[in-house]
Chain A
Amino acid sequence: MIGILDYGMGNIGSVSYALERIGAKSAVVTDAQEIGKCDGLIIPGVGAFAPAMKRLEQLKPSLKEFVASGRPMLGICLGMEVLFDEGTEGGKCAGLGFLEGSVKKLEGAPKLPQVGWNTIEITGESPLFAGVASGEYAYFVHSYACKPKKAGVTIATTEYGERFACAVGGGNVFGVQFHPEKSGAAGERLLRNFARMT
């Protein structure tokens, strides 16, 4: 069973509908006990970094435990950003620290937020992208992007003003800046790949 973490940041319905469409069992989870029972965990999220971390602070120990157990975790959009050490939206703020690096505003972008379909270039081998072609389009809604410290963590990049990591994978921790739940067949493929890891 895949847990979808509801921590009060944005709509979780779209993710749960998408998992239903691909035939994966899922449940909305809110506390440590429920997180502990999941075979995989998705952290969705729309909004700003600091308020998200404020809400996640209490769950930090159980999320840490979850990652240490080796079970797969996938952060989507803001949920990807909080996986890193530090955010800069509205002042510096510590993240969950499961991946090394920080989150910064996109530079040189023609317009923020980036809203729409953009291509993803797959740069690293990852089970998350099995069967997904490089150059495939994904749906983005964001103004900030993750800057992983280690280059090997980046598994796909996108160009919007600058080239940024649109997907990361470090061990059992994954993150995507785009919304696989809204990215057509390619997005569903990615979610299916994640479900297969559980």
Chain B
Amino acid sequence: MLAKRIIACLDVKEGVVVKGTNFIGLKYAGEPAELSKRYASEGADEIVFLDISASEEGRKPNRNWIQLAAEQLNVPFTVGGGISTVDDAREVLSLGADKVAVNTAAINNPRLISDIAEKFGSQCVVVAIDCKREGNGWNVFSYGGSEATGKDAVEWTLECEKLGAGEILATSIERDGTGNGFDCKLTSMLADKLGIPIIASGGAGGEKDFLDAFTKGKADAALAAGIFHYGKLSIVGLKQYLKKNGVEVRA
């Protein structure tokens, strides 16, 4: 059976790892290659690097830290932020990334998903969505959570799956950085409707939140950033806790 994954996420801005609350108020958290290597050695199953300023500024992710990460990491890693063409994806994959994450660019041009999937396979296409709850549903936002797209999260991710997305990384904008727990309703709803893995993101505050994401939230993976960066929770301890509570994890 496939193990549930713990993913350490590094938001990268201008080459350094940053962390904020509700997408604003960014603080320095470390160097990308150094931090990710530490997480990998502590048992992170995967690393996600998101260049959070790339889309806003209309530039491509900086190559230096991707190459460094590829050299140092012995677990798979994903790079997102500013990937808007097949050539962008090719470049990042050829530097050694295992997957690319697309968000705003896929919203603006959904064919980007199928183009990358056809060229490099669905397994390397992660579609990231930033959502805010509205009534019984969730609205999708673009440009780092700043712009409402008018798209419904379920409808949009179903379209992504059809286009060849291999995974959905679902971030709750309201929960992000708050430590109030993952939005389990969002992930369980996506898991019920979609056949591809769902990564829960935004809101991790303690080990119980991860257990909830895998049980109530039906997520295949759970992603966190700040809680790991500031040493509030160790990945080793988290995995022992999950294992003790009947979740299959690599530990």
Residues of A within 8 A of B (CB): 11, 13-14, 17-18, 20-21, 46-47, 111, 113-119, 137, 139, 141, 159-160, 179, 181-185, 187-188
B2 at interface by CB-CB < 8 Å: yes
Give bound CA distance, A187 to B2, whole Å.
17
Residues of B within 8 A of A160 (CB): 1-2
Residues of A within 8 A of B45 (CB): 116-117
Contact of B71 among A11, A17, A137 (CB under 8 A): A17
B222 at interface by CB-CB < 8 Å: no
Give the number of residues in B that approach A within 8 Å (Cβ atoms).
Answer: 27
Q: Is B121 in contact with A139, judged by CB distance below 8 angstroms? A: no
B70 at interface by CB-CB < 8 Å: yes
B238 at interface by CB-CB < 8 Å: no
Residues of A within 8 A of B96 (CB): 11, 13-14, 17
Which among A111, A115, A159, A188 has the greatest number of chain B C-beta atoms within 10 A?
A115
Q: Is B250 in contact with A117, judged by CB distance below 8 angstroms? A: yes
Give bound CA distance, A111 to B166, whole Å.
11
Q: Is B1 in contact with A182, judged by CB distance below 8 angstroms? A: no
Residues of B within 8 A of A (CB): 1-3, 5, 40, 45, 70-72, 74-76, 93-96, 98, 121-123, 166-167, 195-197, 220, 250
Q: Is A113 in contact with B95, judged by CB distance below 8 angstroms? A: no
Q: Is B74 in contact with A113, judged by CB distance below 8 angstroms? A: no
Q: Is A117 in contact with B122, judged by CB distance below 8 angstroms? A: no
Q: Is A137 in contact with B121, judged by CB distance below 8 angstroms? A: no
Answer whether A184 and B40 are a contact pair too, CB < 8 Å, given A113-B122, A113-B123, A139-B76: yes
Give bound CA distance, A14 to B99, whole Å.
13
